[in-house]
Amino acid sequence: MDKDKRAEVSSPDAEIKFSRELGLLEATTLGVGAMIGAGIFILSGMAAGIAGPAATISYVLCGLMTLFTALSYSELSSSIPLAGGGYTFVHQGIGGYIAFLCGWALIFGSVVACALYALGFAEHFSPLSNLLFKASPSIKFSAFAIALLLLLVNIKGTRESGKTQNIFTLAKVAMLIVFIGLCLPFVKTPSFEPFAPFGFTGIISATALIYISFFGFEQISSASEEIKNPQKTVPRAILLSLFIPTVIYVAVVLVSVGILDYQTLGTSAAPLILIAEKVLGSYGLLFVLIAGLLSTISALNATVLTASRETYAMGRDGYLPGKIFRLHPKFKTPYTAIAAVGVIILFFTLSVEVELVAHLANFCFLFALILVNLSVIMLRKKAPRLKRPFRLPWHPVIPLLAIACNLLILAFMGPRTYVMGAGWLGLGSLVYLVYSKEQKETVEKHRRLKEILTRQERKEYKILVSLANPKTVGMLMTTACAIARKFDGEVIALNVVEVPHGTPLRKGLADFSQQRLLLSRAESIARQEGVKFDKMIKLSHRLSYGILETAGEEDCNFIIMGRSGPEKMLDKILTTVVDIVLKEAPCNVAIVHGEQMEAVKRVMITATDNVNSQLAAELSPALVEKFKADLLLLHVLPQGSSAEEETHARRWIDSFTEKACLETKCERKIVRAEKPALAIADQIREGDLLLMGASKGGTLEQLLFTSVPEQVGEKISTPLIVFKRFQPRKRSWVEGIIAGKKAKIK
């Protein structure tokens, strides 16, 4: 691989990691800070208006219902301590389109929740400013300003935002406890009658409204990569962050409905202010306003952290633009993700109403939580050996109960919420189909390329040899074993049995004596060469898919296939499908032409300016060592090239030789010719082994014209190996038409 490509793959961004700076206290305050905010200072009054004094039951019920999901999060967070929270769990457990929709919903829910907290801050800041300075700034302006400030704090660093979170959360918890104690003497028992004026429907409707108040544990799991000892710390922090706020919520609501009637509470966006004004006087009002500011600030800070980490995780996995997947080189925070969600947060603070924001956030969170709980069940089946420091009890009863509770809450939301929530998910589906699906595939190919390079640099070759023709077993295995010996690698011999489409694969089970004989010959060669060896037979509806699936399952970084003799036009069109799939294989490929490879005296490489030719040169020492052969590097110049062009070519060959790490004693030769294929064929003599890089032409060009390696192969009788280096690429429309939709391998 050339230096530029190597530098691109191992870019600094890919090497930067999160700094683990959050302990149990910081992780717990992150969750508590997110929960004790708008849910008690804004939504508690609305909940009382919907359910009456029975709003206390709504908070208890919400805590119990959320406990099931919190247990699922605890198991997932302890076993998969990565940034991204619920999205990351669904990505690991289900993946694909479903994972994208989960992340899409969580980001939207977190963003609109940030807007809710910013508006809650403004509802308390405006009367506080009026009380202290006789000035009342605009609600929208105050919300915008605090959101912008905390976005900048989060860009500055996790440690700074963590310290801010500790201070604000501990202070507001203490102040709420004091508030409850001061208000208890003023509670009147008659205020609780009637206790549930709107019945069970009112209780569940209030629960649907306040559910956003119990979602703090998502903030903890989203920051798992920044938490010390996450396997133990995260589950403990999740359970603590659910228990502490639930107790405070219930106590505050009991005090509220015991002092003011539920009708009055239901009309206020800041119910605790009304209570403070009635029973605690001006000092009590000041006290509550400060507590409200601290609560909404800490909730906003925690949710900004969550939204940015979810966005970062989706960028890391390839569903969002790569620029999202960047950490600041100094602060080590996902600054581009924070900036991206920040723009949307600021927009929502200026354009939405409080109750609608709460319902939209709840809809998105509930949708995502259903998928997260489903992922617990899927991962238990998919990865039974996954290390789980925390295992939720009574599996799968707990996640199924959580799913049922979430569906129940969803059923009590209004039509407007369904329409807007479904619209957001529909937009996400469109984004996935138009952009994210292809982007994800490209990122995966880049990631696979990096893995290949890493293994090659560590000399960790794992070579898959596709065997079909008994005449080519010797050539293919000789090539594979030579490379494996040079790099201390392993060879896997594969025979794919094609089963007709529409026929179950099990119908392909028959007498495999021929296949076993083929693989036994391969094993004998590997044993003689002293190479690690494995063998397998695979049933597939298509040869190429069977090879690619096996390469992926066995984590191979090289595929070697055989092709004997020239092809007729019809054969060429049909075999192009195989070639396209091989080009899409996430590893290097070698196609061996011919049937015999004996008494090789000289290895000849055609030096051309492409990565495939470079790969051929890099692997040539393995074959030179195998046959104790000479090495010739051949470069063809156009007919009529000047002396100056030849001098430039010699310098280029020196550079080519250095990149391929070839020995200086390698013979180098430059020839001039109008037709490169003829010039190369003329240089071939008996006992030569020719190595070439695959043509870079597209599928249409390959169909209409014969590539140089194919032209050479038709003119020579000596063996030829054509190499193709793996590189991320997009499949052309011609390839798509020929290959068609990929069949699922069973």
Work out the average pLDDT over 21-37. 75
Top mean-pLDDT range of 453-467, 472-486, 574-588: 472-486
Count of alpha carbons within 13 angstroms of residue 359, beta-carbon side? 22
Cβ neighbours for 277, distance < 8 A, ≥ 6 positions apart? 284, 285
d(CA 663, CA 644): 26
What CA–CA distance (Å, rounded) separates 687 from 597? 9
| Predicted TM-score of the model (pTM) | 0.58
How many Å from the N-terminal Cα to the C-terminal Cα in the chain?
Answer: 34
CATH 1.20.1740.10 positions along the chain are 22-444
Q: What mean pLDDT do residues 318-339 have?
A: 71
> What is the average pLDDT across 612-635?
88
Quick one: pLDDT at residue 37? 66
Are 632 and 602 in contact by the 8 Å Cβ rule? The answer is: yes
- The dihedral sign for the CA sequence 568, 573, 577, 579: positive
Amino acid identity of residue 601, one-letter, is K
pLDDT of residue 283: 77
Buried b (16+ CB within 10 A) or exposed e, 696-725: eeebeebeeebbbbbbbbeebebbbbbbbb
Report for 247-251, 272-276, 738-742: range of highest mean pLDDT? 247-251
Of 663, 658, 723, which Cα lies nearest the Cα of 690? 723
Q: Is pLDDT of 324 > 90?
A: no
Inter-axis angle of helices 158-183 and 24-35, nearest 10? 60
Q: Residue 329 — very low, low, confident or very high, per pLDDT cuts 50/70/90?
A: low
Q: Report the DSSP pairing between strands 602-606 and 490-498.
A: unpaired
Ordered DSSP codes for 480-527: HHHHHHHTT-EEEEEEEEE--TTS-GGGG----HHHHHHHHHHHHHHH
Q: Is the pLDDT of residue 715 over 80?
A: yes
Mean per-residue pLDDT for 440-445?
Answer: 72
Q: Round to whole Å and give the CA distance between 249 and 275.
A: 15
Query: Which carries the bigger pLDDT value, residue 557 or residue 30?
Result: 557
CB 583 within 8 A of CB 611: no
Residues β-bridged to residue 562: 592
User: Which position has the higher pLDDT, 87 or 430?
Assistant: 430
Span 116-140, average pLDDT: 78
Residues ≥6 apart with Cβ < 8 Å to 722: 590, 591, 593, 612, 692, 693, 694, 709
| Mean of pLDDT over the chain | 78
Domain with CATH 3.40.50.12370 in the chain: 452-739
pLDDT at residue 521, as a whole number: 92
Name the least confident of 75-79, 339-343, 455-459.
455-459
Residue 269: which of 37, 50, 43 has the closest Cα? 43
* Share of the chain residues as helix, strand and coil, in percent rounded to the nearest 5: 65, 10, 25
C-alpha span between 452 and 587 (Å, rounded)? 7
- Residue 363 pLDDT > 70, yes or no? yes
| 661 touches 687 (CB < 8 A) | no
CATH dotted code for 452-739 = 3.40.50.12370
Q: How far apart are CA 623 and CA 600, in angstroms?
A: 9
pLDDT at 526: 92
Q: Please report the pLDDT score of residue 331 as a whole number.
A: 65
The answer to whether the beta carbons of residues 60 and 81 sit under 8 Å apart is no
CATH number, span 22-444: 1.20.1740.10
> Quick count: other Cβ atoms within 10 Å of Cβ 12?
10
pLDDT of residue 573: 44
Bridge partners for 595 per DSSP:
none
Residues 59-85: tens digit of each pLDDT: 898 888 888 888 888 888 778 766 566
The 3-state secondary structure of 571-585 reads HHHHHHHHHHHHHHC
Whether pLDDT at 32 is above 50 = yes
pLDDT in tens, 655-677: 888 777 776 578 888 888 888 88
Residue 618 has pLDDT above 80, yes or no: yes
User: Residue for token digits 């009456």?
Assistant: 52
Scan for tokens 């009382």, then name that residue: 48
Q: Tell me which of 375 and 554 has the higher pLDDT.
A: 375
Across residues 270-294, what is the average pLDDT?
A: 80
Residue type, 415: P
Q: What are phi and psi of 536, to 5 degrees?
A: -160, 155
